[in-house]
């Protein structure tokens, strides 16, 4: 299969455009996460791919074939829902086998596949149990097992970890990653589309992340690029916890812009200063004792986060910004510090969109 192609796809409910006109390609065998805040249209987009929602306009191509008008059962897709969807009168094994029976998989191959997914999803202990005897996390693993056993060209995950507790969530993610690495050898690589609003999950699982906002795909890139070089201020703000720091630029000399966190001014791209903002991730802000170079600043507040890391709210010039520190370094509120931001880790935005930084700009810094 050569992937899924969306051509001018759109879905409207009355005057509300859940998904605006979108052109996009999900490459064959890739894991793409649709990430975005609630109500951004990611689930609607996935449901259109599954055949559960009819697009208002546009075409959906599977392997070059137009499947827009096809019902879900005719498309070669499997899906895992937000709530574990099970056939409650059947056992775990029967649930997995049912999908294979209906896909008319030969008996010997069926057995092999069932054993493989039961093994990879760690369901050996409960294979003969009824669904009512399982906790919600295990049920979701059964749902995933049922989906991957079918060996469809496309597997869709609609926020499968939203309703399960943390331990079960990690177990599920681990099992999913194991499936990707182990079953890749025996089963044809499947195109996976994974809808989530959990950025950590997206960063962990995806080959590519399509960041959605207001019914449109704002950016699609590999997790590292999306994190380090977001195309928009929205991407910088939405991804990361806390999101990127944004500092407004001010004119320093003709054609040059200064930012409070940098000791020197930069050549303003295009000579224009209006609407320029600098973005830098909190963990890329280096905080040291006062007088160690960089720019002078002051700690306004300190918060301890998971793992004993400290999050500092800093006052730098007329701006405030956050810095993430390792557990060992402690600065108290009110303490004077010096702040360093490497030019390699800063991103410039004009009116919310990222500017490509020229070597001249970086050297000038």
Partner 1 sequence: METATATRAPPSWATRLAALLQRRSVLPTLLLIPVLVFFIIWNTMPTLWLLGLSFYRFSLTSGRPPRFTGFGNFQSILQDSEVWLALSRTFLFVFSAVGIETVLGLLLGLLFWGSQRLPGRRVALTMLFTPMVLTPVAAGTFWRLIYDPTFGVLNAALRGIGLPSVNFLGNARTAFGAVLAVDVWMWTPFMVLMTLAALASVPKAELEAAEIDRLSWLQRLRLVILHHGKFILLLGILLRTIDAFKTMDLIYDMTFGGPGSTTELVAIMLYRRAFEVFAMGWSSALAVILLLISIAFTATFIFVLHARERRSQDVPT
Q: How far is the CB of 94 from partner 1 (least distance, A)?
A: 10
Q: Is residue 311 within 8 Å of residue 320, measured between CB atoms?
A: no
Q: Say which residues have a Cβ less than 8 Å from residue 80's Cβ, sequence separation at least 6.
A: 140, 143, 144, 147, 155, 156, 157, 158, 160
Q: How far is the CB of 106 from partner 1 (least distance, A)?
A: 16
Q: Is residue 42 within 8 Å of residue 86, measured between CB atoms?
A: no
Residue with Cβ nearer partner 1 (172 or 244): 172
Q: Is residue 218 within 8 Å of residue 231, measured between CB atoms?
A: yes
Q: How far is the CB of 85 from partner 1 (least distance, A)?
A: 4
Q: Is residue 302 within 8 Å of residue 322, measured between CB atoms?
A: no
Residues 64-103 that bind partner 1 (CB under 8 A): 71-73, 77-79, 81-83, 85, 87-90, 98-99, 102-103
Residue with Cβ nearer partner 1 (96 or 202): 96
The number of residues that bind partner 1 (CB under 8 A) is 27
Q: Which of 200, 209, 204, 251 is nearest to 230 (CA)?
A: 209
Q: How far is the CB of 143 from partner 1 (least distance, A)?
A: 8
Does residue number 185 form part of the binding site for partner 1 (CB under 8 A)?
no
d(CA 50, CA 198): 21
Torsion of CA 151, 157, 163, 168, to 10 degrees: 50
d(CA 342, CA 337): 16
Q: How far is the CB of 197 from partner 1 (least distance, A)?
A: 18
Residues 129-158 that bind partner 1 (CB under 8 A): 129-130, 132-133, 146, 150
Does residue number 216 form part of the binding site for partner 1 (CB under 8 A)?
no
Q: How far is the CB of 210 from partner 1 (least distance, A)?
A: 22
Alpha helices in the chain (DSSP H): 42-50, 92-102, 107-120, 136-149, 166-186, 199-205, 223-228, 233-238, 359-364
Residue with Cβ nearer partner 1 (77 or 346): 77
Residue with Cβ nearer partner 1 (130 or 317): 130
Residue with Cβ nearer partner 1 (35 or 78): 78
Q: Is residue 270 within 8 Å of residue 256, measured between CB atoms?
A: no
Contacting residues toward partner 1, per CB under 8 A:
50-52, 71-73, 77-79, 81-83, 85, 87-90, 98-99, 102-103, 129-130, 132-133, 146, 150
């Amino acid at each position: 299969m050569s992937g899924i192609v969306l051509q001018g796809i759109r879905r409207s409910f009355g005057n509300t455009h859940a998904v605006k006109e979108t052109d996009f390609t999900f490459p064959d065998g890739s894991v793409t996460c649709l990430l975005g805040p609630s109500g951004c249209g990611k689930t609607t987009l996935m449901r259109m791919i599954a055949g559960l929602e009819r697009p208002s306009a546009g075409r959906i191509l599977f392997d070059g074939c137009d499947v827009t008008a096809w019902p879900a059962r005719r498309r070669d897709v499997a899906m895992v829902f937000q709530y574990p969807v099970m056939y409650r009168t059947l056992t775990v094994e029967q649930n997995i086998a049912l999908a294979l029976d209906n896909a008319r998989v030969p008996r010997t191959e069926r057995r092999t596949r069932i054993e493989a997914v039961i093994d990879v999803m760690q369901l050996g202990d409960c294979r003969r149990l009824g669904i009512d005897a399982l906790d919600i996390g295990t049920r979701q693993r059964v749902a995933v097992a049922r989906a991957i056993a079918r060996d469809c060209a496309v597997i869709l995950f609609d926020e499968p970890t939203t309703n399960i507790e943390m331990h079960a969530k990690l177990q599920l993610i681990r099992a999913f990653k194991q499936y990707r690495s182990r079953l890749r050898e025996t089963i044809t690589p499947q195109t996976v589309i994974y809808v989530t609003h959990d950025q950590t999950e997206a960063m962990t699982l995806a080959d590519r992340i399509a960041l959605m906002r207001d019914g449109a795909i704002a950016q699609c890139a590999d997790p590292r690029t999306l994190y380090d070089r977001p195309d928009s201020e929205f991407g910088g703000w939405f991804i990361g916890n806390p999101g990127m720091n944004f500092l407004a630029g001010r004119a320093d000399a003709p054609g040059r812009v200064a930012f409070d966190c940098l000791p020197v001014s930069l050549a303003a791209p295009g000579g224009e200063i209006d609407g320029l903002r600098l973005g830098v991730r909190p963990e890329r802000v280096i905080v040291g004792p006062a007088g160690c170079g960089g720019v002078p600043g002051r700690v306004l507040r300190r918060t301890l986060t998971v793992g004993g890391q400290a999050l500092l709210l800093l006052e730098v010039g007329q701006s405030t910004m956050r810095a993430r520190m390792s557990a060992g370094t402690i600065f108290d509120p009110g303490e004077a510090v010096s702040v360093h931001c490497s030019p390699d880790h800063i991103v410039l935005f004009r009116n919310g969109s990222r500017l490509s930084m020229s070597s001249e700009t970086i050297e000038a810094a």
